[in-house]
Amino acid sequence: MIQADFVAFFQMFFVIYFSALTLGYLLLNWMAFVQIIPYMHRRSLEKGLPQTVSGFEIPVSVLVPAHNESKTIVDAVKALLHLKYPDYEIVVINDGSTDSTLDVLKDEFKLTPLRDVYWERLRTRRVRAIYGSRTHPNLRVLDKENGGKGDALNAGINIAHHPVICTIDSDSILPRDSLQNVIQPFLEDPTTVASGGTVRIINGCRVADGYLLETGIPSNLLALIQIVEYLRAFLFGRLGWSSLNALMVISGAYSVLDKEAVIEVGGYRTDLMGEDMELVLRLHSHMRKSGRKYRISYVPDPICWTEAPENLRTLGRQRIRWQRGLAEAMWLNLSLLFHPRGGVIGWLAFPFYLVFEFFGPVVESFGLVLTVFGWLLGVISLDVLLLFLTLAIGSNLLLSISALLLEEISFRAYPGKRSILIFFLVSFVEAPFYRMLNSFWRVAGLVGWAFNWRKSWGQGSRKGRWLKGTQDKEGLSPYQTSDKAS
């Protein structure tokens, strides 16, 4: 009798859980559809006409933290120097690199030491020197002791001259108009404190000298799976929440922030893996609690292309790190949950993330293990097992195909009809295998966070094949953002 009750409860729980998950994401998907159609209309008109400069564009300080990036940093900075934007400076922060990062920058950009005096509004590790470029007046390099990405960004904020900062991962590939696109929310609405855009996967694409020449489909299955995953996470996940001003995450790979707002909340935390998500949540929390009008926005344009891991070991580590970052960020901002002034973020987005992103992997992993063992032990019938698997796989498949449709009516970044078929087939593989594997990784991330295990999980290997002279690049940059698609 107890066994039958348990099975019934179990069955009901998972039906409700997966139905709520699918419904929640379908609602977000619907909101994304509602948003993206007028957005594309505007875009169609604006991109089709000559671009004019008003003279009222906000000057931006682009901050590029770098740690042991000697093989990629020059191409990255060169690409940044060609961004299409009327008024910006670039600040590269060499965060205690032990390779020749600083030397290659010195050689390539003719750096000379500056006697910069600045206001240390955010405490950071010791700054050794600040350099200016003799060839590019809008480029400075800050050399400091190693303190991690958050510390490097804080140091960059201290010396940034402009009111808006843009943080960029040094290994990202950026379209020339990316800054122009991602800054739009600041130009449209002066209450904007942060904005981000869509990050896409570069594997399979043709790149030269830091520029994306042609999009393509990778041959590696894991990279393919991540393309679908990124489409889902960005296009409808973020666009949907953004329409409610309840965006929980802005990818640290490319984010634009109001410098004063960041300083007001104390800058980046330096002891976390998910410092970018934590900052966004802290901004929400601070603004909500102080009753100030603000916006945190998302632009659906692809603003940044990044390499996805192509082996399970690296991917697993990345996902463990992301989940840990999510847990840290949510835990530190738990006061936002159901706060009387929490608004949509406190009453809807935060609880949603808590149930489906924080605890979701636990429910899914636990459910799978319990179901399989239950079935093997004869406690659970084949019907229940099939129901569980169908719900898990079906909901994932439905969300993936919705994301493909959304991509189809908006950017169509991947060429040919074949790409749709490939992505669809990949979704089939992803749903039963990858999703479950990812759930286990994410549970490991949660366990790591709960027991405060070592934080060096970010190291891994990536190929960096597109970067000039980097065929032998080994080791994932420790500055890989924590939440590119979480």
Name the one range near other proteins by CB under 8 A: 97-105, 241-249, 250-258, 396-404.
396-404
Q: Is 262 in the site for other proteins (CB under 8 A)?
A: no
Among 103, 408, 465, 475, binds other proteins (CB under 8 A): 408
- How many angstroms separate the Cα of 122 from the Cα of each of 256, 265, 428, 485? 18, 10, 48, 28
Q: Is 38 in the site for other proteins (CB under 8 A)?
A: yes
259 vs 288, which CB is nearer to other proteins?
A: 259
29 vs 72, which CB is nearer to other proteins?
A: 29
Among 11, 59, 108, 132, binds other proteins (CB under 8 A): 132
Q: What is the nearest approach in angstroms of other proteins to the Cβ of residue 444?
A: 30
187 vs 369, which CB is nearer to other proteins?
A: 187
Total site size for other proteins, rule CB under 8 A: 42
Contact 164, 257 (CB under 8 A): yes
Name the one range near other proteins by CB under 8 A: 278-286, 308-316, 399-407, 465-473.
399-407
CA 17/CA 368 separation, integer angstroms: 13
CA 237/CA 241 separation, integer angstroms: 7
Question: Whose structure tokens read 């999703």?
Answer: 435
CA 224/CA 14 separation, integer angstroms: 29
Binding mask 50-89 for other proteins (x = CB under 8 A): x-x-xxxx--------------------------------
Name the one range near other proteins by CB under 8 A: 166-174, 203-211, 404-412, 450-458.
404-412
User: Which residues are bridge partners to 199 per DSSP?
Assistant: 304
Among 348, 372, 379, 401, binds other proteins (CB under 8 A): 401
Q: What is the nearest approach in angstroms of other proteins to the Cβ of residue 54?
A: 4
188 vs 474, which CB is nearer to other proteins?
A: 188
Q: What is the nearest approach in angstroms of other proteins to the Cβ of residue 72?
A: 29
- Six token digits for residue 243: 């329409």
Helix, strand, coil percentages for the chain (3-state, nearest 5): 50, 15, 35
CA 50/CA 384 separation, integer angstroms: 60
According to DSSP H, which parts of 101-244 are helical?
101-109, 149-159, 178-182, 184-188, 221-231, 239-243
Q: Is 108 in the site for other proteins (CB under 8 A)?
A: no
Q: Is 115 in the site for other proteins (CB under 8 A)?
A: yes
For residue 43, which amino acid is it?
A: R
Sign of the C-alpha dihedral, residues 175, 176, 177, 182? positive
Note the maximum CA span of the chain: 81
Please give the residues from 326 up to 365 whose contact with other proteins meets the rule CB under 8 A. Answer: none
State residue 482 phi and psi, 5-degree precision.
-85, -15
CA 427/CA 199 separation, integer angstroms: 19
Q: List contacts with other proteins (CB under 8 A).
A: 38, 40-42, 44-45, 48-50, 52, 54-57, 112, 114-119, 132, 187-190, 387, 390, 394-395, 397-398, 401-402, 404-405, 408-409, 412, 417, 420, 424
